[in-house]
């Protein structure tokens, strides 16, 4: 048992701690990055995380769902850390980001596949800086001598052409919505989603004039209002299927969301299968289990052939 347990909540963060003789476990939920999407709640094997819809005053915008963690149930396994699409949760041991479920290969990490080619970005452009709805892209410009350049408007075309462009992406917090790929100059970004799925709004059940889902959606172009402002529609090109919208929807079954594919690193344990049951559709579970079965069969055949060769 821990010598001391600590739970502290501020406006910006929720922090849990176990203090032992030689070990200190800490879980930090960064509320600035959390969007209230419920994925951590679905993934938690101890049911320690609850995501609750917040009340809304008439005339106000909807608020993102509130996340709370039961310190008595949490064992600091780090599964919530691994699966948060927005990198809002971090679990550390003695100050280091070390997760035993990853080291033991019992749980996977999401694959954030983001390719950047800064050579295709015009020096005078501001499109990439302004593209990301979460402000995760930073573009820096420097002369061949390494001097930083903030304002390129006064430079000649020759001087602009000689600038060195560097594009940094905060991948830890990126949900891979692909907006940058479409709003930046062609070829600068190539992004693959790690969550794929289907989302549908039943226009008959959706209350006219309601914008709750739109209010909390962290990806600006994934949901949009019709021209008459009466109904919300979906742009699946940019949806990351996090589910923040579904949690605040006031009408049951007005918004349908399913996750059909999760791109992740290889995993060997059955613990992931249980989490997958809660996160994705039965079809996705079936596909993954079949794929794992094929791998196991191939490995068995390879071992048998190796023994025969010996």
Q: CA 287, CA 282: separation in Å to the nearest integer?
A: 9
Please indicate whether the domains covering 113-192 and 195-262 agree at the CATH topology level: yes
Per-residue pLDDT of the chain (310 residues; tens, 9 = 90+): 788 999 999 999 999 999 998 999 999 999 999 999 999 999 999 999 999 999 988 889 999 999 999 999 999 999 999 999 999 999 999 999 988 888 877 889 999 999 999 999 998 888 998 999 999 999 999 999 989 998 888 888 888 889 999 999 999 999 999 999 999 999 999 999 999 999 999 999 999 999 999 999 999 899 999 989 889 999 999 999 999 999 999 998 999 999 999 999 988 777 888 888 889 876 555 666 555 554 443 444 345 445 545 5
The first and second tokens of residue 251, run together, are 């009408």
The hierarchical CATH code for the domain 195-262 is 3.30.70.20
Domain ranges of the chain: 4-103, 113-192, 195-262, 280-309
Buried-exposed string 73-106: b where 16+ CB fall within 10 A, e elsewhere? ebebbbbbbbbbbbbbbbbbbeeeeebebbeeeb
**Of 80, 79, 59, which Cα lies nearest the Cα of 68?**
80
307: number of Cβ within 10 Å? 8
Predicted TM-score (pTM) above 0.85: yes
CATH for 113-192 (3.10.180.10, 3.30.70.20, 3.40.50.620, 3.40.50.300):
3.30.70.20
Q: CA 118, CA 189: separation in Å to the nearest integer?
A: 9
> Which residues, other chains included, contact 302 with Cβ-Cβ below 8 Å and sequence gap of 6+?
none
The hierarchical CATH code for the domain 4-103 is 3.30.70.20
Q: SS3 for 282?
A: helix
């Amino acid at each position: 048992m821990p010598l001391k347990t600590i739970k502290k909540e501020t406006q910006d963060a929720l922090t849990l701690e176990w203090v032992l003789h030689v070990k200190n476990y800490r879980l930090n939920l960064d509320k600035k990055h959390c969007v209230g999407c419920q994925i951590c709640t679905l993934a938690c094997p101890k049911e320690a995380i609850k995501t609750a819809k917040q009340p809304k005053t008439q005339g106000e915008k909807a608020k993102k769902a509130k996340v709370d963690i039961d310190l008595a149930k949490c064992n600091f396994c780090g599964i919530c850390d691994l699966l948060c699409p927005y990198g809002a949760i971090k679990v550390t041991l003695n100050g280091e980001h070390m997760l035993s479920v990853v080291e033991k290969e019992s749980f996977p990490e999401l694959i954030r596949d983001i390719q950047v080619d800064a050579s295709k970005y015009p020096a005078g452009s501001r499109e990439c800086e302004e593209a990301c709805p979460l402000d995760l892209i930073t573009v820096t410009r420097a002369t061949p001598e390494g001097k930083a350049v903030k304002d390129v408007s006064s430079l000649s075309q020759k001087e602009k052409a000689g600038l060195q462009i560097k594009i940094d992406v905060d991948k830890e917090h990126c949900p891979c919505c692909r907006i940058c790929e479409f709003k930046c100059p062609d070829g600068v970004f190539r992004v693959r989603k790690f969550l794929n799925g289907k989302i549908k709004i039943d226009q008959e059940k959706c209350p006219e004039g309601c914008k709750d889902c739109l209010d909390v959606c962290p990806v600006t172009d994934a949901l949009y209002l019709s021209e008459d402002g009466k109904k919300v529609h979906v742009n699946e090109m940019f949806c990351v299927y996090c589910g923040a919208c579904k949690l605040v929807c006031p009408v049951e079954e007005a918004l349908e969301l399913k996750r059909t594919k999760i791109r992740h690193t290889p995993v060997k344990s059955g613990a992931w299968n249980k989490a997958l049951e809660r996160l994705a559709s039965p079809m996705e579970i079936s596909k993954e289990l079949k794929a794992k079965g094929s791998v196991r069969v191939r490995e068995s055949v390879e071992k048998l052939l190796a023994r025969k060769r010996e």
